[in-house]
Amino acid sequence: MNSDPLAASDKPSSAEEPATAAAAKKAPKKTTTAKKDQPYFDPVAYGNGPDDAIAATEADENAAITHHSVTIGGAKIAYTATVGHLVTVDPSSSKPTAKMFYVAFTKDGAKEEARPLTFFYNGGPGSSAVFVLLGSFAPRRIKTAMPGFTPPAPYQMEDNPDSLLDRSDLIFINPVGTGYSAAIAPNKNRDFWGVDEDAASIAQFIKRYLTKNNRWNSPKFLFGESYGTARSCVLAYKLHEDGIDLNGVTLQSSILDYRQAGNPVGALPTAAADAWYHKKLGVHPTPTNLLNFAEEVAEFSRTDYLNALRKFPQTDDEVVEKLSEYTGIDKATLLAWSLDIAAYDSRGNSLFLTTLLKAKGESLGAYDGRVTAISTGIAGKIDPNSGGNDPTMTAVSGVYTTMWNSYLNEHLKFTSTSSFTDLNDQAFLNWNFKHTDPTGAQKGVDSKGNIILYTAGDLAAVMALNVDLKVLAANGMYDFVTPFYQTIIDLQQMPLIDKTVRQNLSATFYPSGHMVYLDGGSRTQLKADLARMYDDATANHAAMGRIIALQKVTADKLGALSPVG
Q: What is the pTM of this model?
A: 0.89
Of the three residues 393, 428, 462, the one that is the final residue of a domain is 393
CATH of the domain at 508: 3.40.50.1820
Say if residue 60 is in the same domain as residue 203.
yes
CB neighbour class for 231 (10 Å; exposed up to 12, middle 13-18, buried from 19): buried
Residue 102 included in any domain: yes
Say if residue 329 is in the same domain as residue 438.
no
Say if residue 243 is in the same domain as residue 107.
yes
Residue 399 included in any domain: no
Say if residue 251 is in the same domain as residue 285.
no
Contact in structure between 97 and 183 (CB atoms under 8 Å):
yes
Closest CA to 375 of 361, 359, 392, 388: 361
Say if residue 235 is in the same domain as residue 285.
no
Contact in structure between 177 and 399 (CB atoms under 8 Å):
no
Rounded distance, CA 138 to CA 252, Å? 16
Residue 543 included in any domain: yes
Contact in structure between 137 and 108 (CB atoms under 8 Å):
no
Q: How many CB atoms lie within 10 A of CB 392?
A: 28
Say if residue 74 is in the same domain as residue 196.
yes
Closest CA to 177 of 421, 476, 509: 421
Residue 449 is classified by DSSP as -
Rounded distance, CA 170 to CA 223, Å? 10
Helix axes 484-493, 456-465, angle to 10 degrees: 50
Rounded distance, CA 14 to CA 324, Å? 96
Say if residue 274 is in the same domain as residue 242.
no
Say if residue 284 is in the same domain as residue 219.
no
Residue 487 included in any domain: yes
Say if residue 271 is in the same domain as residue 153.
no
CB neighbour class for 275 (10 Å; exposed up to 12, middle 13-18, buried from 19): buried
Q: How many CB atoms lie within 10 A of CB 450?
A: 10
Of the three residues 357, 373, 393, the one that is the final residue of a domain is 393
Of the three residues 393, 425, 445, the one that is the final residue of a domain is 393
Residue 563 included in any domain: no
Closest CA to 476 of 299, 229, 236: 229
pLDDT of the chain, 565 residues: tens digit per residue: 333 333 333 333 333 344 444 444 454 554 555 789 999 999 999 999 999 999 999 999 999 999 999 999 999 999 999 999 999 999 999 999 999 999 999 999 998 888 999 999 999 999 999 999 999 999 999 998 888 888 888 889 999 999 999 999 999 999 999 999 999 999 999 999 999 999 999 999 999 999 999 999 999 999 999 999 999 999 999 999 999 999 999 999 999 999 999 999 999 999 999 999 999 999 999 999 999 999 999 999 999 999 999 999 999 999 999 999 999 999 999 999 999 999 998 888 899 999 999 999 999 999 999 999 888 777 777 776 655 678 888 888 889 999 999 999 999 999 999 999 999 999 999 999 999 999 999 999 988 889 999 999 999 999 999 999 999 999 999 999 999 999 999 999 999 999 999 999 999 999 999 999 999 999 999 999 999 999 887 775 454 454 444 433 323 322 334 443 3
Residue 281 included in any domain: yes
Say if residue 122 is in the same domain as residue 238.
yes
Enumerate the H helices of 407-455 as residue ranges: 425-429
Q: Please count the structural domains in the chain.
A: 2
Could you list the residue range(s) of the whole structural domain that residue 308 is in? 264-393
